[in-house]
Amino acid sequence: MAKNKKTTIQDLANYANVSIGTIDRVLHNRGKVSHAKRKKVEEAIDKLDFNPNLLARTLALGREFMVCSLFPEATTSESYWSLPKIGVDQGVEGYRDFGMELNAYEYSLIDESSFVKNADAILGKNPSGVILAPLFEKESLEFVSKLEERNIPYVFIDANIENKKNLSYIGPDLKGSGFIAGKLLNSVLGPSDDILIVNMVKGFENSAHTAVVENGFREYFRLNEPRAKRNINSITIPSTTEIEVNRQLTTYYIKNPGIKGVFVSNSGAHIISRYHALHDLELKVVGFDLVPGNVVELKNGNIDYIISQRPVFQGLTAVKVLFDFFVYKKLPHSIQYVPLDIIIKENVDYYINFQ
Amino acid sequence: MAKNKKTTIQDLANYANVSIGTIDRVLHNRGKVSHAKRKKVEEAIDKLDFNPNLLARTLALGREFMVCSLFPEATTSESYWSLPKIGVDQGVEGYRDFGMELNAYEYSLIDESSFVKNADAILGKNPSGVILAPLFEKESLEFVSKLEERNIPYVFIDANIENKKNLSYIGPDLKGSGFIAGKLLNSVLGPSDDILIVNMVKGFENSAHTAVVENGFREYFRLNEPRAKRNINSITIPSTTEIEVNRQLTTYYIKNPGIKGVFVSNSGAHIISRYHALHDLELKVVGFDLVPGNVVELKNGNIDYIISQRPVFQGLTAVKVLFDFFVYKKLPHSIQYVPLDIIIKENVDYYINFQ
DNA sequence: TTTATATTCGTGTGCCCACACACTTTTTTA
DNA sequence: TAAAAAAGTGTGTGGGCACACGAATATAAA
């Protein structure tokens, strides 16, 4: 199929003995066309395997798609949120000549009002579509209901809110990611080694997410080691600063010397593992995300496994989903779980050098 | 950057007070242009941040890129080689309106002459570019030297031949893949469990490749377990039929009861693991590639780890490399190692459902 | 000065599609 | 049966770029 040099509407017109105007009417259900000619044109479309040239169409229509992104701010290039951004930038760049344009907005994780302010700014821009990381659930719900009112399509990225009319969710299966973390940590521990789950929370983001991850983690052990006598504890540290984290860890480890493995439910594993190295503790560590700090610690051997959720790819995919919707009216799967890559010291370089 | 609605050559012409013809001359170093006007145009290009519209250019040029692929034949949709093909098809489909066309050729792994025949057919087509899986080294060398004579760019996929003038190699780091396999198998074995490396060879393809993989595998143990007292043996089975493989395995296992882990250096791990299940052997298995058979066995728990080398992505990337070279004259990295994904029962579904 | 040769620059057309517009033919209404 | 309305169809232009061509000017040779 599609072997013969692609057919144009002119070819169709010749075949059906009509003008390209009539072809256009049939193709776009515009104006009236006599039954006989319509039949003939449809036959031509079928016989000649016509596929409109997207380039010419784009040029002719001169449409523009403005998409806005709303993500947590990437304080440094080291932080996780710079990665989805890279993906979005790359994606939009690839569709630039197709009329796609990006306006990126950021909100602070320690300030809900910054979310609202930026969401309002986006509404003011009246974009064609929105890519949103809905880490503040309540504010996000308000935002998307306004988007729905205005018929602006939106996709969730990295975090999901269920039962909304988003085009798609592109991101990890949170529960699955915890489950896999459980499997990996278990594989490097003895059967009675105690485990600590560390939930570091930067701001006021929805804590339900970490709870789901933790559930997945615990479920692994429930299903696979039901009679294990180990303890699995968890602490929540409302900070990501090294000083504060270290203080709480010290307190905890002194009281709980049986801990042999740590699962860090966000991208801050390197903070924990640096602490271990500093104090000569031989604990196993599993965490998330290939941020630079984690890469270093993985290579050092202070982190055993990192689970990565293809952040760059998430951004790319979100843009593609919007584009396909704009141009082809294609409805994506409503949930697109990204692969959860298992990264170890030995394969980390392949991941870094690629994207 | 690139914020203001994109500039066109007409904008340049207005700014520089010349006709678009002159703009064209400057842009493409055609014809002569007075020094003053050239300067002015260059200034315009810079000031207005001009980037030619790829769509319009493609339409105007009406160029066509015919690329040919030459891969081992995918006997069934189950076999590994159907995957890179899918990637190539997807990639070409995406560039269809840009004038890209594909002619896919296949050769038999048990018949070098089929390679030569298809290679000749490709040369007869005089393609713009070639994507080649050079599993027959000698024949491939002859083929690419002819391509070089004719100035036809080519990329290697999945397997590499070094020091050739290929645009790029897109595929796994073979040694690294063996190394990682070593790490994974070691992680599920006791320190004195013996290991068997199974090299199944379908036809006459270059056996140097499996040797490199095996080297990587052994190197892991050399570096990380230098004083281990385990045996690491390897056998080569010149067949992939279940009957023959089973026969040789039986012979081997009866004589070597200490074997506790098996590393299969190609995509046939499921054949081995089915044998284990059949005979109630609790051996650990590590293999390559997410072919359907391996997926089933991974989920059954008969295979412990699969290392996947993103075959679909390899195909996609190869097409993209050629396209970027044709259109932007962009030279890719000469070696692009794909990420080596570690697949376990718990994350396999995310990989299958995505591509 | 005339003729030949370079140099410099603009116009027009095509690529493929969408769409506004104008035109012709048929049907309906008075 | 003429006039008005509706139905059916073709033409032309625009969108951004490449390129063939021709026009205009300048310079050199005869």
What is the distance between the alpha carbons of residues B317 and B311, in angstroms, rounded to a whole number? 10
Contact state of A180 with B344 under an 8 Å Cβ cutoff = yes
What is the distance between the alpha carbons of residues B130 and B124, in angstroms, rounded to a whole number? 13
Residue in chain A lying closest to B93 (CA): A2
Q: What is the pLDDT of residue A136?
A: 95
Looking at the predicted structure, is the pLDDT value of residue B258 above 80?
yes
Contact state of B180 with A344 under an 8 Å Cβ cutoff = yes
Residues with CB under 7 A from strand C: A 6, 8-10, 20-21, 24, 27-28, 30-31, 51-53, 56-57, 59-61; B 18-22, 24-25, 31-38, 56, 59-60, 62
Residue in chain A lying closest to B177 (CA): A347
Best of B96, B347, B355 to substitute, by most chain A Cβ atoms within 10 angstroms, is: B347
Reported confidence tier of residue B46, pLDDT bands at 50, 70, 90: confident
At B5 the three-state DSSP class reads coil
Measured to protein CB atoms, the chain C nucleotides within 7 Å are 7-12, 14-21
From chain B residues 151-180, the ones with a CB under 8 A of any chain A CB are: 173, 176, 179-180
What is the distance between the alpha carbons of residues A29 and A49, in angstroms, rounded to a whole number? 19
Q: What is the pLDDT of residue A1?
A: 35
Best of B55, B290, B344 to substitute, by most chain A Cβ atoms within 10 angstroms, is: B55
Q: Which of B56, B180, B350 sits opposite A340 (nearest CB)?
A: B350
Looking at the predicted structure, is the pLDDT value of residue A2 above 50?
no
| Nearest nucleotide from residue A6 CA, by C1' atom | C16
Q: What is the pLDDT of residue B3?
A: 39
Whether chain A has a CB inside 8 Å of the CB on B301: the answer is: no
**C-alpha distance across the termini of chain A, in Å:** 33
- Give the Cβ contact number of residue A6 at 10 Å: 17
| Nearest nucleotide from residue B38 CA, by C1' atom | C8
For the residues B32-57, what does the mean pLDDT come to? 87
For the residues A219-237, what does the mean pLDDT come to? 90
Q: What is the pLDDT of residue B2?
A: 37
Q: Which of A53, A55, A350 sits opposite B338 (nearest CB)?
A: A350
Q: Is the separation of the CB atoms in B101 and B124 below 8 Å?
A: no
Q: How far is the CA of A320 from the C1' of C18 (A)?
A: 24
The reply to whether the CB atom of residue A175 sits less than 7 A from any atom in nucleic acid chain D is no
pLDDT digits (tens, 9 = 90+) for B202-212: 887 778 899 99
- Which comes out higher in pLDDT, residue A183 or A353? A183
Q: How far is the CA of A25 from the C1' of D7 (A)?
A: 13
Looking at the predicted structure, is the pLDDT value of residue B241 above 70?
yes
On average, the pLDDT of chain A sits at 92
Looking at the predicted structure, is the pLDDT value of residue A43 above 80?
yes
Looking at the predicted structure, is the pLDDT value of residue A290 above 50?
yes
Reported confidence tier of residue B5, pLDDT bands at 50, 70, 90: low
Whether chain A has a CB inside 8 Å of the CB on B10: the answer is: no
Two structure tokens written together for A4: 């013969």
Q: What is the pLDDT of residue A254?
A: 93
Reported confidence tier of residue A208, pLDDT bands at 50, 70, 90: confident
Reported confidence tier of residue A150, pLDDT bands at 50, 70, 90: very high
**Residues of chain A positioned with their CB less than 8 A from the CB of B97:** 6, 53-55
From chain B residues 68-87, the ones with a CB under 8 A of any chain A CB are: none
Judged by average pLDDT, the poorest of A224-228, B280-284, B349-353 is A224-228
Q: What is the pLDDT of residue B17?
A: 85
Strand B65-72 to B100-107 pairing: parallel
Q: Which of A180, A346, A351 sits opposite B347 (nearest CB)?
A: A180
Q: How far is the CA of B55 from the C1' of D26 (A)?
A: 39
CB proximity list for A118: less than 8 A, separation 6 or greater: A70, A105, A106, A107
Q: What is the pLDDT of residue B75?
A: 83
Q: Is the separation of the CB atoms in A108 and A116 below 8 Å?
A: no
| Nearest nucleotide from residue B18 CA, by C1' atom | C9
Looking at the predicted structure, is the pLDDT value of residue B36 above 90?
no
pLDDT digits (tens, 9 = 90+) for A293-306: 999 999 999 999 99
Q: What is the largest CA-CA distance in chain B?
A: 88
Reported confidence tier of residue B355, pLDDT bands at 50, 70, 90: low
What is the distance between the alpha carbons of residues A184 and B58, in angstroms, rounded to a whole number? 50
Q: What is the pLDDT of residue A278?
A: 93
Judged by average pLDDT, the poorest of A201-205, A339-343, B105-109 is A201-205
Looking at the predicted structure, is the pLDDT value of residue B4 above 70?
no
Amino acid at B233: N
Helix (H) or strand (E) holding B264, with range, is strand B259-264
Best of B290, B346, B348 to substitute, by most chain A Cβ atoms within 10 angstroms, is: B346
Reported confidence tier of residue B27, pLDDT bands at 50, 70, 90: confident
pLDDT digits (tens, 9 = 90+) for B139-156: 999 999 999 999 999 999
pLDDT digits (tens, 9 = 90+) for B157-189: 999 999 999 999 999 999 999 999 999 999 999
Q: Which of A53, A337, A350 sits opposite B340 (nearest CB)?
A: A350
Convert B207-245 into a string of H (helix), E (strand) and C (coil): CHHHHHHHHHHHHHHHHHCCCCCCCEEEEEECCCCHHHH
Residue in chain A lying closest to B58 (CA): A55
Q: Which of B53, B64, B353 sits opposite A97 (nearest CB)?
A: B53
Contact state of B346 with A96 under an 8 Å Cβ cutoff = no
Whether chain A has a CB inside 8 Å of the CB on B187: the answer is: yes
- Give the Cβ contact number of residue A132 at 10 Å: 26
Give percent of chain B with pLDDT exceeding 70.
98
Q: Which of B64, B341, B346 sits opposite A183 (nearest CB)?
A: B346
Q: What is the pLDDT of residue B1?
A: 34
Q: Is the separation of the CB atoms in B280 and B302 below 8 Å?
A: no
Q: What is the pLDDT of residue A207?
A: 80
- Which comes out higher in pLDDT, residue B31 or A55? A55
- Nearest Cα residue to A158 out of A85, A93, A240, A234: A85
Whether chain B has a CB inside 8 Å of the CB on A353: the answer is: yes
Whether chain A has a CB inside 8 Å of the CB on B6: the answer is: yes
Q: What is the largest CA-CA distance in chain A?
A: 88
Q: What is the pLDDT of residue B78?
A: 83
Q: What is the pLDDT of residue A5?
A: 66
Nearest protein residue to nucleotide D21, judged by CA and C1' positions: B21
For the residues B125-148, what does the mean pLDDT come to? 96
What is the distance between the alpha carbons of residues A280 and A277, in angstroms, rounded to a whole number? 5
| Nearest nucleotide from residue B6 CA, by C1' atom | D16
| Beta-carbon contacts below 8 Å between A and B | 85
Please list the helix, strand and coil fractions of chain A in percent, rounded to the nearest 5, in that order: 50, 15, 35
Measured to protein CB atoms, the chain D nucleotides within 7 Å are 7-12, 14-21
Q: What is the pLDDT of residue A215?
A: 97
pLDDT digits (tens, 9 = 90+) for B273-323: 999 999 999 999 999 999 999 999 999 999 999 999 999 999 999 999 999
What is the distance between the alpha carbons of residues B86 and A1, in angstroms, rounded to a whole number? 15
